[in-house]
Amino acid sequence: MKKFYITTPIYYVNAEPHIGSSYTTIIGDILARYKRMMGYEVFYLTGTDEHGQKIAQAAKERGVEPQQLCDELAQKFKELWRELEITNDYFIRTTDEHHMKTVQFFVSKMMENGDIYKGTYEGWYCVPCETYWNEDELEHSEDGKHLCPSCKREVQLIREENYFFRLSKYTEPLLKHFKENPDFVEPDFRRNEMLKILESGLKDLSITRTTLKWGIPMPNDPEHVIYVWVDALINYVSAIGYPDDMETF
């Protein structure tokens, strides 16, 4: 039997479910149901993204611990999916013990491969977007404040010691793969967008934080917390059993 793996994004628990998350999950459910009807073995995944500064800040504003906030809102997502009769096969939470161990295992393998090094990073950081921006990417208010180009809120200049992923190492291999496999990313305008980014060269990526404690500790250095975007992306393999089960899906 052919296998078909479909996921939604995992949803931030700094706010309650809304029409956007419902819309996305329903679309995924339609595709999952269709593929099952066509005889595929389907694994449909959804879940919640529960680490990072945005979550810690939302919990602080409510006067609760981050884990309590995550528990309450994850339950609301689950209840809504039941009401909408969503047929997901698994609901992952990034505070699940298996997921957290998988993230540490994944990062350890990257370190063994020479893909991670320690360095110092300085940049303009947007808390709501959990993103660093270069100075030339910022916008400015009339009173001279530096603003995030995405959410238009004020950014902070942060300098800290981080671990970095050698993303630049993969510029040429990725370019080669994209050009040799034109159907790798669809539609075409997204593929062309990715090619343009690759052709301009990839920069190494900061993957830890020392200014935040609500997250998964680096396996070799618990003073550093793994950046939420690294943590979150690994859910797509931890949910199907990696690294313990490499056969089922």
3-state secondary structure of 243: coil
Q: Which residues form the domain of 73?
A: 3-95
Could you tell me if 226 and 103 are in contact, meaning their C-beta atoms sit under 8 angstroms apart? Answer: yes
Same domain, 123 and 202: yes
For the chain, state the CA radius of gyration.
20
Could you tell me if 51 and 215 are in contact, meaning their C-beta atoms sit under 8 angstroms apart? Answer: yes
185: CATH: 2.170.220.10
Is 216 within the bounds of a domain? yes
Q: pLDDT digits over 149-163, tens only?
A: 999 999 999 888 999
Is 14 within the bounds of a domain? yes
| pLDDT of 249 strictly over 80 | no
Same domain, 11 and 82: yes
Is 238 within the bounds of a domain? no
Q: pLDDT digits over 69-117, tens only?
A: 999 999 999 999 999 999 999 999 999 999 999 999 999 999 999 999 9
Q: What is the pLDDT of residue 246?
A: 86
Residue 132: both structure tokens together: 């660093």
> What's the structural domain count of the chain?
2
73: CATH: 3.40.50.620
pTM here is 0.86
Q: How many CB atoms lie within 10 A of CB 105?
A: 16
Q: pLDDT grade, residue 232 (50/70/90)?
A: very high
